[in-house]
Amino acid sequence: MTNPLRLGIAGLGTVGVGIVRIVQKHAELLERRAGRPVVITAVSARSKTKNRDVDLSNYAWEDDPVHLARRDDIDVFIEVMGGSEGPAKDATEAAIAAGHDVVSANKALLAIHGQALAEQAEAAGCVIRFEAAVAGGIPVVKALTEGLAGNEITRIMGVMNGSCNYILTRMENDGMTYEEVFDAANQLGYLEADPELDVGGIDAGHKLALLASIAFGTQVNFDAVVLEGIGAVTIEDIHQAADMGYKIKLLGVAQMTGRGLEQRMTPCLVPDTSPLGQLQGGTNMVVLEGDSVEQIVLRGAGAGMGPTASAVMGDVMDIARGARMTTFGQPATTLRKVRAATGAVPAPYYLRLQLLDKPGALAKVARVLGDAGISIDRMRQYDHSETAAPVLIVTHKTTKTALDEAIAAFGSTSVVSGKPVAIRIEAV
């Protein structure tokens, strides 16, 4: 009989329990597909007595995940604890030192320590797989490392945080403010314990950094990701952008340019007729563009017990079948250090201004934009109060530097009230 693949699971929260359920429910199916049994031999979590609605009685228990990682009766260490430091990092390093393969759902750990961990694993002849760390149940890591391996990837785009997409689409559909939807999402448990990880773009930025490393053959550099959360997006921006044919998304974009590697996770406008524009609720979507395949769109659940556990088990099954893939799609020692792009590729921008009711106000705004080298594509003015009116402008392609220069100059015109809102428009 073929030797079973033995799993040790560190972390028995939502995802860990989901993995246990898949292994228990589909034992025969997994064995047929892998050509060998896939079994759990040991587990670890903070509390042994907590009710998890799953039978753990047949598995050895370790209070310390590092001890689990060192056990000689596991072949694959599954890390679903989370956190970029502490037990998750220590246990992962211990598993590699013990000669065990690692399957992780920990985007923060890999975005910050991925290069070092990959070098350690590959030197030890071990595998690190992390499909579950990026976009939940969407097999985007496998798509990049395997299905699209014959392509030069030109751009990655995606909505990679379902909580942010839920907030933005509910603001649009229900006419609620950001604060109202944030509170509702928090009560429903859609946000991390530290909500800033979600709404600040940090969680999604980790995912983008990992995909960029695979796509462009570079060392993971999360510190170079430009982050801007959705906290400043107003219901007015959502409605008025929709009136101009756009939807607002927290959009990740990575591309290699002549100025270096550009990585952004920021609010952007996308055409409302595009796949990204039509994405609703907590769903994720990743768009991959390659020189041969052109554009691939992957859509699915970005989080949750089933989708994330499914992604973990996809990696486990590859290992069970004998597939040995390098962590980032090529040997870690060959990944390049590249400089971060000094600026974003030029793009159109959406501008919202509160224009005071004064003679020649529009002409002054147009002059400021012209002096900064920015031309206007479209402009729309809405009903105004006694003193000011909202004005929307869509520019032709320009640089962020030129736009910042213009916004700073608006203050000296005496016709713009408050702080202008500027949101990049991304071509999809």
CB atoms within 10 A of CB 93: 18
Distance (Å, rounded) from C-alpha 373 to C-alpha 390?
23
| Alpha helices, DSSP H, located in 196-322 | 196-199, 202-216, 235-243, 305-320
Catalytic residue among 89, 107, 207, 364: 207
What six digits make up the tokens of 278?
A: 């039509």
Torsion of CA 195, 196, 200, 203, to 10 degrees: -80
- Percentages helix, strand, coil for the chain (3-state, rounded to 5) are 35, 25, 35
Q: Which of 375, 408, 410 is nearest to 393 (CA)?
A: 375
Under DSSP, is residue 159 helix (H, G, I), strand (E, B) or coil?
Answer: strand
Identify the H or E element spanning 420: strand 416-425
Identify whether the C-beta of residue 6 lies closer than 8 Å to the C-beta of residue 73. yes
Concerning whether 48 is annotated as a catalytic residue, the answer is no
Dihedral sign computed on CA atoms, order 34, 44, 202, 283: positive
Q: Which of 135, 69, 57 is nearest to 97 (CA)?
A: 69
What backbone torsions phi and psi does residue 222 show, to the nearest 5 degrees?
A: -65, -30
Query: Which residues, in sequence order, are bridge partners of residue 227?
Result: 265
Q: Which residues form the catalytic set?
A: 207
